[in-house]
Chains A and B, each alone.
Chain A
């Protein structure tokens, strides 16, 4: 209890010595309630700032003139309660108990009484006269909140003065009430929260046991309550103050009621609820009302899923309707003629140089860069959903679904990050305490369809499936999530053994999207894609081209062809020839490389876009199978590397790789054979 004893000397500041006989007023309140504004307003330049002895907590003291009488004012540290959860709370209560201020002004926010009345509930149990400064009335009015100060005063049993300290409104009335108390006018009787009946008996028993031993200046009923609440400082003080035999009895009683601290706090919140119900009227229209109305459907466990699926379909529709025609135009009208121009310009150059530029650079990176319009639309749609506040609802309904499947709740948000990129999804699992839960999440995270995979889908699906591309894309996302949930549920049963978890979300209000925020997000994501095209995709395109050129300059006898033909038997299960199989394998450094590789391998046909060449070369069943495998295949190199880093285990990393390889090959083969069966 060193803090308690320190505070007796705390008033020995120059100002305190000067005005030692002046009445003392304490300003108490939670942080950000306008306490300091009121302090500055009252004391002006007559203030002194220092530290509370032995603490790094700031102490502000000053004085002002009240009807010709000097009054000392101490700004107590901002505290949420008077229980010893923090040094500020200990300082505030010790000051009130030891210095016995003539008046305690409790500054509360009219805009958020639910939060600020807890401290008043505690202050009301102390002997010091309390005046409630109902501050921020202007903010409350702006938010349409009406607080009836008279009703609140009657309910609290304490004087309540509505005010707006930032505009000096209501200060005169506040000082009038303070003056009344200082003049000896009888204060109303506070109506603090009652302790629940079953705990009342325990409280009385503790009070009886300790009454003769409570050190000055602590009120014995307050000490008994704090013991019941499990207050660390008070418990330590009474352990020292009580004879051993009495302490043992008190300790046994407290141990039997170790949940009483929750009951006491519960009682205070029930009291706050009653105060707010009596005195506060909140608007049920406008932004809050709209959010509630929308969330009745958007955050509903069943309707929310349908809405999410519908929004996802809408995003694909927008992407394909706006982005795909631009992509096709760029492919046919820019990349192909550019390749022709480059071939002409390099006609005199060595054949390998022409091949590298035309097939490797333009056919590979150029083709991938034509995705940009598709991605811009895709990024803009998701940025809009994020900025409007919908993505929080999407996370909520998906998390509910995952719980139904037996998956761990804390896993969802890392998984949610995976829609952007699987790397932060796996890094994000660090917030999961339980190792099995974290491992499970790491293993299934690569099944979340990332933007890079969606880019491949956005290129191939419209080429092969035209108007049905929306349904194909939608189905592919659904398939990925189905694979994720099934694998998760299965692994959860085996590794995680059905552990429960809890997760609480406070969702933002829906709001009008900000064009600048959306623009910034689209710009950053697009820039990131272009950088990737200029580095990882460029390097891989040149390597693929070199392997497709060497040793003799003929694709069909190249190193790449030999390698592709070697693994073609596996690819054929899924309806792939060696080129599709190689394209899939080269997607390991970055998923978009699959298209870059196809651009290199099919880039020799003049005046025809890559999409048209692919449609002429493969059946729809092969294309669908390729898309399915791409969605479920081994993740990119960065994701595998981060899996190794986060699991610190090659065993788990290889398990992840082989698990995904198995799932993707099995799903691809099944889809291809079903496709052939249905005549695709």
Chain B
């Protein structure tokens, strides 16, 4: 089941846990437990938003998105693959 979950995620796209659970024929609670397991195994990682991304931002204290009730603080849990998919291009090409 965990293998199937990882295969589904690796096929690419955006997934919601209840939809993932339905595709695996299980409950959202078990799907969530498996996602947490994949996170412990290092296959996926939490998607950290402002707390991490805006570390150097001067507007952080003023930014409405990070305030209580802001879009990123409303209880939505997010995960993404820890490693890019096989065809990902990881080469940084900036100046």
Contacts and interface: CB of A to CB of B under 8 A. Distances in A.
B17 A507 contact: yes
Interface string B20-61: 100000110110111111001100100111101110110100
A115 B33 contact: yes
A503 interface: yes
Given A436-B89, A502-B9, A505-B17, A389 B1 contact: no
Nearest to A417: B65
B94 A435 contact: yes
Interface string A396-425: 100110010000011011101101110110
Contacts of B49: 413, 417, 428, 431
B53 A427 contact: yes
B84 A428 contact: no
Given A427-B54, A502-B81, A409 B69 contact: no
Interface string A427-452: 11111011110010000000000000
B83 to A, nearest CB: 9
Contact of B85 (A392, A413, A502): A502
A414 B52 CA distance: 12
Contact of A424 (B13, B54, B91): B54
A521 B89 CA distance: 39
Given A423-B57, A517-B68, A505 B91 contact: no
B17 A501 contact: no
B1 A273 contact: yes
B69 A386 contact: yes
A112 interface: yes
Contacts, number: 253
B30 A505 contact: no
Interface in A518-575: 518, 520-521, 524-525, 528, 531
A138 interface: no
Contact of B13 (A409, A413, A414, A499): A409
B74 A501 contact: no
A435 B69 contact: no
Contacts of B67: 520-521, 524
Contacts of B75: 389, 392, 508
B95 A118 contact: no
Contacts of B33: 112, 114-115, 118, 269, 272
Given A118-B33, A273-B26, A428-B49, A392 B76 contact: yes
Contacts of B9: 502, 504
Contacts of B71: 386, 391, 395, 416-417, 419-420
B4 to A, nearest CB: 7
A265 interface: yes
A428 B53 contact: yes
Most chain B beta carbons < 10 A, residue from A118, A387, A395, A433: A433
Interface string A632-652: 000000100010000111111
A506 interface: yes
A440 B90 CA distance: 14
Contact of A439 (B18, B27, B94): B94
A328 interface: no
Interface in A242-295: 259, 261-263, 265-266, 269-270, 272-273, 276, 282, 292, 295
Most chain A beta carbons < 10 A, residue from B13, B64, B70: B64
A417 B72 contact: yes
A295 B3 contact: no
A124 B68 CA distance: 43
A497 interface: yes
Given A424-B54, A431-B47, A435-B93, A85 B69 contact: no
B57 A507 contact: no
B28 to A, nearest CB: 8
A41 to B, nearest CB: 27
A506 B35 contact: yes
A16 interface: no
A273 B62 contact: no
Give the top 3 A-B pairs by smallest Cβ distance, nearest first.
A500-B12, A508-B75, A506-B77
Interface of A: 80-81, 85, 112, 114-115, 118, 259, 261-263, 265-266, 269-270, 272-273, 276, 282, 292, 295, 299, 383, 386-387, 389, 391-392, 395-396, 399-400, 403, 409-410, 412-414, 416-417, 419-421, 423-424, 427-431, 433-436, 439, 496-497, 499-508, 514, 517-518, 520-521, 524-525, 528, 531, 638, 642, 647-652
Given A496-B89, A500-B87, A531-B62, 18 more contacts: A115-B29, A295-B16, A295-B18, A383-B69, A387-B69, A400-B14, A403-B13, A414-B53, A421-B64, A436-B89, A501-B88, A502-B80, A503-B14, A506-B35, A506-B79, A521-B70, A524-B64, A642-B57
22 contacts: A81-B37, A114-B30, A115-B32, A118-B33, A259-B3, A263-B3, A270-B1, A299-B16, A386-B70, A386-B71, A387-B69, A400-B14, A403-B13, A423-B57, A429-B53, A504-B14, A504-B78, A505-B78, A506-B77, A514-B69, A524-B67, A638-B59
